Amino acid sequence: MALSPGWRAFTSFAMNRCGVLRKAVRSSGFPLFPWGHCPWRGTGSFLDPEMKAFLEQNTEVPSRGSLTPEIQLRLLTPRCKFWWERADLWPHSDPYWAVYWPGGQALSRYLLDNPDVVRGKSVLDIGSGCGATAIAAKMSGALRILANDIDPIAGMAITLNCELNQLNPFPILTKNMLDLEQDKWDLVVLGDMFYDEDLADSLHQWLKKCFWVYKTRVLIGDPGRPQFSGHSIQHQLHKVAEYSLPEPTRQENNGLTTSTVWEFQP
């Protein structure tokens, strides 16, 4: 059974619908937060019960189909109502957090298989989405974690996913990290973020500062999108791991077959 035209467009947003997210990333204003008026959500913060119910009713926890079956996630699947609806009927901002993108899958698998990368360290997950990579870092013993996503609903989804995996929720920041003063992190991870040329250029400069000023290690997950493979950052990358994507992930991502973890070494 094929996706409806609306959700087919949504699941391929990295190629065809980057404008919506690009506009949001460039926004300098604070979004509205169901848990208060601050873009920082600490551990144990209030989770809006109506939104929690909405997310639980309109997502599913798949039992297979990703590189990390040990991580449970609330996602949009073909068994969810909105998978088949027109995308404009979704009542909130586009739910990019509701897809487990292949770059994030590769990063999460790598951290689970190599816990020494994060054990006892501070980890920043940029564009956290469903929170899987931050969750993988937590499972692997990271000491301090910050999940960053500009969508406040993603923050709620991350909290629900922490609970699904019997983890205490970690802090979530729903402000554009590229607009903020940088802090010291042992490791920065980002998956599927090089989907737009302008954003890729901004990320490249921001990551170079992380590396040179704070000696931060940077890991990037990407399945080979042209905006990434054709970017000048390629000259500063070292391949760390490559994974063959499960068939369901291939089908949801226009036939992409592998996803790679790269270390940024400018």
pLDDT given at position 28: 25
Number of domains composing the chain: 1
Is there a domain that residue 142 lies in?
yes
Mean of the pLDDT values across residues 65-88? 92
Residue 3 has pLDDT above 90, yes or no: no
Of 177, 187, 66, give the one whose Cα is nearest residue 137. 187
Secondary structure (3-state) at 261: strand
Is there a domain that residue 200 lies in?
yes
Name, in order, each residue with C-beta under 8 angstroms of 174's C-beta and a sequence gap of 6 or more.
31, 33, 39, 41, 148, 149, 150, 151, 152, 154, 155
Is there a domain that residue 3 lies in?
no
Is there a domain that residue 192 lies in?
yes
Is there a domain that residue 190 lies in?
yes
Is there a domain that residue 166 lies in?
yes
Mean of the pLDDT values across residues 12-16? 39
Report d(CA 75, CA 239) in Å as an integer: 29
Sole residue written with tokens 């690009």: 22
Pairing between strand 258-264 and 217-222?
antiparallel
CATH of the domain at 241: 3.40.50.150
Taking only the tens place, the pLDDT of each residue in 211-235 is: 999 999 999 999 999 999 999 999 9
Is there a domain that residue 161 lies in?
yes
Structural domain of residue 258, as residue ranges? 47-264
Taking only the tens place, the pLDDT of each residue in 93-129 is: 889 999 999 999 999 999 999 999 999 999 999 999 9
Is there a domain that residue 109 lies in?
yes
